[in-house]
Amino acid sequence: MRFLGYTLGDESAPTPAPTPELMEAMGRFMEEATTAGVIVATGGIAPTSMGARITLSDGKYTVIDGPFTEAKELIGGWALLECRDLEEAIEWSKRFVGVLGEGEVRVRPVFGPT
């Protein structure tokens, strides 16, 4: 079963550069998760200033360029996980946030073809 795990970001707060120790620990974790077949794909999300919002209403499209200052919670990074069940996805997500040291990861099932 596939799950989407994601972290939240705040564009108004600068993100400090990761330390070499964090990069090394995250590299080990990612290698283990990939070798175990848990990580299907992963990535980060660009700031809203680089995006657009597309709306369809009454048959008419509206496109608004970012940034979206009203957004309170933004996806910062994501990982597509292949796990037996939610409990396994939670355990891998705990390990991930444990490498970060603090933070929040949200995990949701992904529906659709595998």
How crowded is residue 83: how many other Cβ atoms within 10 Å of its Cβ?
21
Entry pTM: 0.83
What is the overall mean pLDDT for the chain? Answer: 91
36: left (phi over 0), alpha (psi -120 to 50) or beta: alpha
Answer whether residue 94 is part of any domain: yes
CATH number, domain of 84, equals 3.30.70.1060
Give bridge partners of residue 54 from the DSSP assignment: 63
Residue 14: domain span: 2-109
- Distance of CA 30 to CAs 20, 33, 95, Å? 15, 5, 10
Q: Return the pLDDT at 34.
A: 96
114 assigned to some structural domain: no
pLDDT at position 91 over 80 = yes
Domain count within the chain: 1
Task: Locate 107 and state its tokens.
Answer: 């995990």
